[in-house]
């Protein structure tokens, strides 16, 4: 779009912020999965509460993942989509040279 003459600087900056949010959500999800996998090593009623502690840690991490997901969605709806709509209302700047007739 920028090659066609649209001003995409605000959208680019907002996309970088959004990308960081998505990467954080992915990292938090990976942590959640690893917590669940670590809970597999314990036997539920024979581990002296270690299983339930691991499950509770995974549940807490799941809350973080869900909040990250909501934040990513909200960022897209409140920032990225309006930026794209603003591009639609722009008129591109043409950078072509004037045509000369022989």
- Is residue 68 in a domain? yes
- Is residue 59 in a domain? yes
- Is residue 46 in a domain? yes
> What pTM was computed for the model?
0.75
- Is residue 94 in a domain? no
- Is residue 62 in a domain? yes
DSSP H helical ranges for the chain: 9-39, 50-75, 81-89
- Is residue 97 in a domain? no
Write the CA distances from 24 to 5, 59, 63, 70, integer angstroms. 33, 18, 14, 12
Q: Which of 73, 60, 80, 58 is nearest to 25 (CA)?
A: 73
Range 11-23 average pLDDT:
90
Range 30-57 average pLDDT:
88
Copy the structure tokens of residue 19: 């990308």
- Is residue 29 in a domain? yes
Domain that holds residue 53: 15-89
Residue 30: its pLDDT value, please?
96
Residue with tokens 């591109």: 92
User: What's the structural domain count of the chain?
Assistant: 1
For the cut 90, the answer to whether the pLDDT of residue 2 exceeds it is no
Residue 10: its pLDDT value, please?
81
- Is residue 74 in a domain? yes
């Amino acid at each position: 779009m920028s090659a066609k003459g649209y001003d995409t600087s605000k959208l680019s900056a907002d996309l970088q912020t959004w990308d960081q949010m998505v990467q954080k959500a992915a990292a938090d999800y990976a942590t959640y999965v690893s917590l669940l996998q670590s809970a597999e090593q314990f036997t539920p009623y024979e581990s002296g509460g270690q299983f339930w502690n691991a499950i509770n840690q995974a549940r807490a991490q799941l809350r973080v993942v869900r909040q990250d997901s909501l934040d990513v969605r909200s960022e897209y709806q409140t920032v990225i989509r309006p930026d794209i709509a603003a591009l639609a209302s722009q008129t591109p700047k043409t950078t072509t040279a004037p045509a000369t007739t022989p």
